[in-house]
């Protein structure tokens, strides 16, 4: 790890607060990522300020969320009722709020800005120019990847997002990805420079997600200790494909398992994204399939309760059409529960196929039903897989993630300072603007260079 470490980092998470409950609205794995890494960066002596959009009039402007971690709720647009697709209209207001917060600080207050998701990246590159610090960006998901694997009837990501992602990729000093396959996507889709990409593997809170009593956990949720429980955890939307699991499990529920045991599905989550158009769609589907009485729905859970959801399970399913990594898979395995997952995105890294779980190629209902039948027909084998899953998950921790992030931050700072020094040496008499070379790094000059050789903002 390089010695050039930041004293203070600004994290930007426009569309969702790290303090929000995952599984509600747009809150999900990115919330967990931002919150867990922020806490661990602070534990390593790095002060962290997180800028997010206020979504309630009761939100305090500034919240001390943990030692060394401050959350700033920036007012930008209406507090409620603003869809994520409309947030680009509020980026100017949000950016102004971020710049105002920094304006009251001494010059050089932040050493680095780290943006999460493309909306935040749009803000990140502007404040980077104003503050003259490096920009590190994590996309979390890419529009082109999501559009290539849409669920039937789901809404594709708009061209505006793809253009915005291209701009951020071009502007960022370093790009953080979850897996090597995601790095290759950035290179092939957006022409990213491989030398600017760092692979940083997400993790799980291994102190929270540990094995425990299955019987006790089931009693807490009113589940029959003698049933076989398969669990889905996540936002209820087509992208996450809970309907695939429900359709695959329905024939097994109706006829019963090979040893005469009954199968129950446990669904933990709330409607999100395009799922908000039909918030009761999964309940309606269970009724149509005739398995309503064997499906238990519970709302999103706090980490302290979510660990009990995992412990209550014989198997956790992650049937998503697209996942940049899949934190649910790691959390479940850390709790000692094997995972059945679609072989997409980072799930091929999160799940060790045939050891800690099973990966299914595609989303064919018959294929999923056959794999479910095979796994649930061998409960002793499933228990052994759960023990292997716990061991596999120990390789993924947020502490390791924080260490990898700090290494990436160090490289970003070193490269940024070296580049600034070279420009200063090449033009020693040039006036400075906001700490950057006025001739080479004026915002208008940067915009002109950014769109040189492009058509409609897309790389040509």
Complete domains list, the chain, with CATH: 8-203+398-421 (3.40.50.2000), 214-394 (3.40.50.2000)
Q: What's the pLDDT at 446?
A: 44
Confirm or deny that 251 is annotated as ligand binding: no
Confirm or deny that 27 is annotated as ligand binding: yes
- The count of other CB atoms within 10 Å of the CB of residue 18 is 24
Candidates 45, 68, 53, 44; CA nearest to 16 is: 53
Enumerate residues 6+ apart whose C-beta is below 8 A from 444. Answer: none
Q: What is the pLDDT of residues 46-60, one digit of tens each?
A: 999 999 999 888 999
Confirm or deny that 47 is annotated as ligand binding: no
Confirm or deny that 331 is annotated as ligand binding: yes
Confirm or deny that 33 is annotated as ligand binding: no
Instruction: For residues 37 and 204, give the distance between their C-alpha atoms in angstroms, rounded to a whole number.
Output: 10
Q: What is the dihedral of CA 75, 105, 108, 44, to 10 degrees?
A: -80
Confirm or deny that 85 is annotated as ligand binding: no
* Phi and psi torsions of 63, nearest 5°: -125, 125
Confirm or deny that 235 is annotated as ligand binding: yes
Confirm or deny that 323 is annotated as ligand binding: yes
Q: What's the pLDDT at 454?
A: 39
Q: Cβ(338)–Cβ(385) under 8 Å?
A: yes
Q: What's the pLDDT at 16?
A: 86
Confirm or deny that 308 is annotated as ligand binding: no
Q: What's the pLDDT at 449?
A: 43
| DSSP per-residue string spanning 251-299 | HHHHH--TTSPPEEEEEE--B-GGGGGSTTHHHHHHHHTT-GGGEEEE-
Confirm or deny that 301 is annotated as ligand binding: yes
* Angle 323-252-333 from CA coordinates, rounded to 5°: 40
Confirm or deny that 385 is annotated as ligand binding: no
Q: What's the pLDDT at 276?
A: 55
Confirm or deny that 240 is annotated as ligand binding: yes
Confirm or deny that 84 is annotated as ligand binding: yes
Confirm or deny that 439 is annotated as ligand binding: no
Confirm or deny that 269 is annotated as ligand binding: no
Q: What's the pLDDT at 270?
A: 85
Confirm or deny that 28 is annotated as ligand binding: yes
Cα–Cα distance list, 390 to 268, 297, 307, 325, 359 (Å):
21, 26, 13, 18, 17
Q: Which tokens is 433 given?
A: 């603007």
Cα–Cα distance list, 278 to 97, 273, 282, 404 (Å):
35, 10, 9, 40
Low-confidence ranges of the chain (pLDDT < 50): 1-2, 275, 430-460
Q: What's the pLDDT at 34?
A: 96
């Amino acid at each position: 790890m390089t010695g050039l470490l930041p004293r203070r980092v600004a994290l930007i998470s426009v569309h969702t607060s790290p303090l929000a409950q995952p599984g509600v609205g747009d809150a999900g794995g990115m919330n967990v990522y931002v919150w867990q890494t922020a806490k661990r960066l602070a534990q390593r002596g790095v002060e962290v300020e997180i800028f997010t959009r206020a979504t309630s009039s009761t939100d305090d402007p500034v919240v001390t969320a943990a030692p060394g971690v401050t959350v700033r709720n920036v007012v930008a647009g209406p507090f409620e009722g603003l869809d994520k697709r409309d947030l680009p209209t509020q980026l100017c207001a949000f950016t102004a709020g971020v710049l105002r917060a920094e304006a009251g600080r001494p010059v050089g207050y932040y050493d680095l800005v780290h943006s999460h998701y493309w909306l935040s990246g749009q803000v990140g590159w502007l404040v980077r120019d104003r503050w003259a610090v490096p920009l590190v960006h994590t996309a979390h998901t890419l529009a082109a990847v999501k559009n290539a694997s849409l669920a039937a009837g789901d809404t594709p990501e708009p061209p505006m997002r793809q253009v915005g992602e291209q701009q951020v990729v071009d502007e960022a000093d370093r790009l953080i990805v979850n897996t090597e396959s995601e790095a290759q996507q950035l290179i092939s889709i957006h022409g990213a420079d491989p030398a600017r990409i760092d692979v940083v593997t997400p993790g799980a809170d291994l102190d929270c997600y540990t094995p425990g009593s299955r019987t006790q956990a089931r009693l807490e949720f009113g589940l029959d200790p003698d049933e076989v429980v398969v669990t889905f955890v996540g936002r209820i939307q087509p992208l996450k494909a809970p309907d695939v699991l429900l359709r695959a499990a329905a024939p097994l529920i109706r006829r019963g398992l090979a040893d005469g045991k009954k199968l129950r599905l446990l669904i933990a989550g709330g409607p999100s994204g395009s799922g908000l158009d039909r918030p009761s769609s999964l309940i309606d589907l269970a009724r149509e399939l005739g398995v309503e009485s064997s499906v238990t729905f519970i709302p999103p859970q706090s980490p302290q309760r979510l660990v009990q959801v995992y412990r209550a399970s014989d198997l956790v399913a992650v049937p998503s059409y697209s996942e940049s990594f899949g934190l649910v898979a790691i959390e479940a395995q850390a709790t000692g529960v094997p995972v059945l997952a679609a072989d997409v995105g980072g799930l091929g890294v999160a799940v060790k196929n045939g050891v800690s779980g099973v990966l299914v190629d595609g989303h064919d209902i018959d294929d999923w039903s056959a794999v479910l039948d095979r796994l649930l027909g061998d409960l002793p084998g499933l228990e052994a897989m759960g023990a292997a899953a716990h061991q596999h998950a120990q390789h993924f921790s947020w502490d390791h993630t924080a260490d990898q992030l700090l290494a990436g931050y160090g490289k970003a700072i070193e490269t940024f300072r070296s580049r600034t020094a070279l420009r200063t040496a090449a033009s020693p008499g040039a006036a400075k603007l906001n700490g950057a070379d006025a001739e080479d790094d004026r915002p208008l000059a940067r915009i002109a260079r950014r769109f040189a050789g492009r058509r409609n903002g897309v790389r040509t």
